[in-house]
């Protein structure tokens, strides 16, 4: 399953020269992961109520080209790896008009309790989704 959404670059996303500030990309990546989880049937507040929080543990971003004020972006998110402890999301941000890639990112996420204790195995409700996603991406 790939989640895709569009985002326009607003003035607040840019620096004084109209170029997207690097931190804005991270916000859009976060939005993509949250929306992916919701598309899979898991609202992050509902997960938190079940004592499951999903922090980022590793973020590898490759900046290819700068987006600019008023650009229309496409943010794509999919799962590429799951090992029972962590899940890796592959994310890209591209131009809607030209399909040029602005950034590519690999984001590792683990499950912890609200008290900060690491679950040594991903909770079953999420593990099932991630395993199913990697076996048959089109069916999730």
pLDDT in tens, 66-109: 999 999 999 999 999 999 999 999 999 999 999 999 999 999 99
CATH number reported for the structural domain that contains residue 97 in this entry: 3.10.129.10
What pLDDT sits at residue 139?
47
What pLDDT sits at residue 137?
58
Residue 58, H or E segment: strand 56-63
Number of domains observed in the structure of the chain? 1
**57 pLDDT more than 60:** yes
Q: What is the residue range of 100's domain?
A: 3-139
What pLDDT sits at residue 134?
84
CB neighbour list of residue 133: distance below 8 Å, 6 or more residues apart? 1, 40, 79, 82, 140
What pLDDT sits at residue 132?
87
Considering the entire predicted model, what is its pTM? 0.91
């Amino acid at each position: 399953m790939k989640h895709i959404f569009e985002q326009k670059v607003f003035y607040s996303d840019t620096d004084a020269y109209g170029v997207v500030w690097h931190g804005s990309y991270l916000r859009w990546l976060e939005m993509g992961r949250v929306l992916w989880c919701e598309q899979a049937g898991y609202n992050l507040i509902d997960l938190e109520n079940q004592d499951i929080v999903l922090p980022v543990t590793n973020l590898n971003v490759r900046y290819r080209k700068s987006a600019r004020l008023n650009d229309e972006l496409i943010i794509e998110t999919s799962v590429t790896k799951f090992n029972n402890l962590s899940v890796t999301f592959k994310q890209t941000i591209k131009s809607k008009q030209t399909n040029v890639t602005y950034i590519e990112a690999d984001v590792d996420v683990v499950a912890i309790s609200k008290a900060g204790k690491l679950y040594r195995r991903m909770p079953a409700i999420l593990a099932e989704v991630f395993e199913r996603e990697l076996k048959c991406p089109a069916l999730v």
